[in-house]
Amino acid sequence: MDETYEIGNRVGAKVAFLGLFVAAVLSAQLVVAMRSRVVLSEPMQLAHAGLSVCMPEGNGWRSAKRWEHQQNGFTIGSTYAAGSSRPTGAARCRYLSPAETTSPQIRFEQQESALEGKIVQTGRIDANMVPAIPATVTVDWVHIQKPGAWFNTFFGTAKLPHNARIEIEVHETTGDPCSAEHVFRRIAESVSITDSPLLDAGARIIAEMKDKGIAGFLDNQNRQSLFLVMDDGKNILGFTSDVLVDTGPGSEMNIQAASLYYIKGLFVHEEVASFQSDNRFDRFVWRFDRFAWKSAGIAAERDGAAISLDEAGILTVTTFGEESKESSYHIGASAVPEVLIEQLLAQLLDSDKKEIVVDIIEAGGRVTRTHIIQIEPEGAAAKSDAAHVVKLMPLDGRGFYQLVYLNERKGISKSLLRREETYLFESIDPEDAAKLFPERAEYILQGDKLKKYLDERKE
């Protein structure tokens, strides 16, 4: 009996030792792969941002190979899972534009809290120290450990041109912080910043708009734009009405706008917004409300946002609905509110630029980087009063674009929005629109009452 027990003990000890040996070998493989055998990919450029970065690839690392849009930025990542389906290492870079006003120290504390860990080390890395590279990126970083767990995270952040930021994260779960730090440093040192000509061109066009002043684009004191909304089968879905007013030099916030987007079906969808800004739109306040209800008139959904821009260039967005949230961002010189799109396109047409990239601030507070290109009118557009055609392509991965047709006066005459389906916006006279939508006739026929209506909807 004792002999059998001893044999069992010896066998158990050997199995345990073998398990430890295998674990040690796997851990050693990870350390070697992450520390001394890290192979970086070719520089992966983010279009129209002037940014590129190299990510771990090969020797157990798998890279996504391209940037993907996520929330207010773009992300690219790699995972390490050599010999196993379960990753034991991961790396990620995130480009944020516009970046929140949160300081690096606050971001470090947020990461520390989210990981339920503790900051045990801090540092700084200057990337792009190669003489041929014109710009230097300073990455501030922290090392976060989770007490009682084999878990290490290196997290860093750096300021980029156009008030953007980059965040770099490397995680490992083998208890070897040196390997994770090595990978983190290799990625941080690969960050490269170059010129972004189209983004710079967009900033110049917006600067020219500011110098001219929005009042300089208006040919009257109560300019209303009214469009039918139709599907690709020419079925009428609803209408949009926009009023842009210059109240004169006696007011600091002399530019006022109001808009109503109305879609009628099984449910009625209505979006209303009011906007006030100074002549250079260096400061503005913007209120956006969205409603949905059945034809009986009982509200089923309601949400919206309050947006403001101060003289320091800080954009504050407060969203409301089921949950309220407030965020603040540093916007760059290439940012413009979408309510001023017609004026932006007019300024582009007056310039020597054929294409630009800008950051469009949407009514709901989202900021979308958008590629804008002048194209030649074709087909029916060339035979109509569309003297100019401009294509707007959001770079956020939503996969749609918009064609905007402008007349000789550089006013928008119609537009085509292509997502999963195609929607056409065609100019219509107020009298004709009022007949189609008698329930909103008062605000269609008398644009000056639209703002009053929007104020009533807020209550």
Give how far Cα 121 sits from Cα of 177, 285, 332, Å.
Answer: 11, 42, 32
Asked if pLDDT for residue 19 goes beyond 90, the answer is no
- 306 assigned to some structural domain: no
Q: Which long-range contacts (CB under 8 A, 24 or more apart) does 347-354 make?
A: 347/205, 347/206, 347/208, 347/209, 347/212, 348/205, 348/372, 348/374, 348/390, 349/374, 349/388, 349/390, 349/406, 349/410, 350/410, 351/205, 351/208, 353/201, 353/204, 353/205
Q: Do 177 and 211 sit in the same domain of this protein?
A: no
Residue 188 has φ and ψ, to the nearest 5°, of -60, -40
d(CA 351, CA 60): 51
Instruction: Look at residue 297 and give its three-state secondary structure.
Output: coil
Q: 73-113 pLDDT, tens per residue?
A: 899 999 987 665 566 799 999 999 899 999 999 999 999 99
Peptide bond connecting 98 to the previous residue in cis, omega within 30 degrees of 0: yes
Range of the domain at 427: 199-274+330-458
- pLDDT in the model for residue 220: 55
Q: Do 122 and 255 sit in the same domain of this protein?
A: no
- pLDDT in the model for residue 292: 84
Q: Do 411 and 387 sit in the same domain of this protein?
A: yes
Q: Do 101 and 239 sit in the same domain of this protein?
A: no
In the structure, what pLDDT confidence band is assigned to residue 143 with cuts at 50, 70 and 90? very high
Exposure string of 77-106, with b = 16+ CB inside 10 Å and e = fewer, is bbbbebeeeebbbbbbbbbbbbbebeebee
Q: Do 82 and 176 sit in the same domain of this protein?
A: yes
Instruction: Point out the domain boundary residue: 175, 195, 215.
Output: 195
Which residue has tokens 């995130």? 94
Q: Do 223 and 168 sit in the same domain of this protein?
A: no
Q: Do 191 and 203 sit in the same domain of this protein?
A: no
More confident call, 383 vs 45? 45
Asked if pLDDT for residue 454 goes beyond 70, the answer is no
Q: What is the mean pLDDT of residues 119-144?
A: 79
Contact status, residue 406 vs residue 345, Cβ threshold 8 Å: yes
In the structure, what pLDDT confidence band is assigned to residue 28 with cuts at 50, 70 and 90? very low
CATH at 55? 3.40.1000.10
- pLDDT in the model for residue 326: 93
Total H helices, total E strands in the chain = 9, 27
- pLDDT in the model for residue 295: 59
Instruction: Point out the domain boundary residue: 179, 195, 211.
Output: 195
Mean per-residue pLDDT of the chain:
84
- 348 assigned to some structural domain: yes
In the structure, what pLDDT confidence band is assigned to residue 114 with cuts at 50, 70 and 90? very high
Instruction: Look at residue 97 and give its three-state secondary structure.
Output: coil
Strands 355-361 and 335-337: parallel
In the structure, what pLDDT confidence band is assigned to residue 20 with cuts at 50, 70 and 90? very low
By the 10 Å C-beta count (0-12 exposed, 13-18 middle, 19+ buried), 17 is classed as exposed
- 292 assigned to some structural domain: no
Q: Do 40 and 173 sit in the same domain of this protein?
A: yes
In the structure, what pLDDT confidence band is assigned to residue 355 with cuts at 50, 70 and 90? very high
- 338 assigned to some structural domain: yes
Q: Do 159 and 215 sit in the same domain of this protein?
A: no
- 308 assigned to some structural domain: no
Least confident range of 5-14, 30-39, 201-210, 241-250: 5-14
Q: Do 174 and 221 sit in the same domain of this protein?
A: no
Asked if pLDDT for residue 136 goes beyond 90, the answer is no
- 222 assigned to some structural domain: yes
Q: What is the mean pLDDT of residues 218-240?
A: 85
In the structure, what pLDDT confidence band is assigned to residue 421 with cuts at 50, 70 and 90? confident
- 279 assigned to some structural domain: no
Q: Do 240 and 179 sit in the same domain of this protein?
A: no
Asked if pLDDT for residue 197 goes beyond 90, the answer is yes
d(CA 401, CA 395): 10
Could you give the number of structural domains in the chain? Answer: 2
Which residue has tokens 């994770």? 180
- 247 assigned to some structural domain: yes
Alpha-helix residue ranges (DSSP H) falling in 265-374 = 341-349
More confident call, 239 vs 293? 239
Q: Do 160 and 263 sit in the same domain of this protein?
A: no
Instruction: Point out the domain boundary residue: 195, 214, 232.
Output: 195
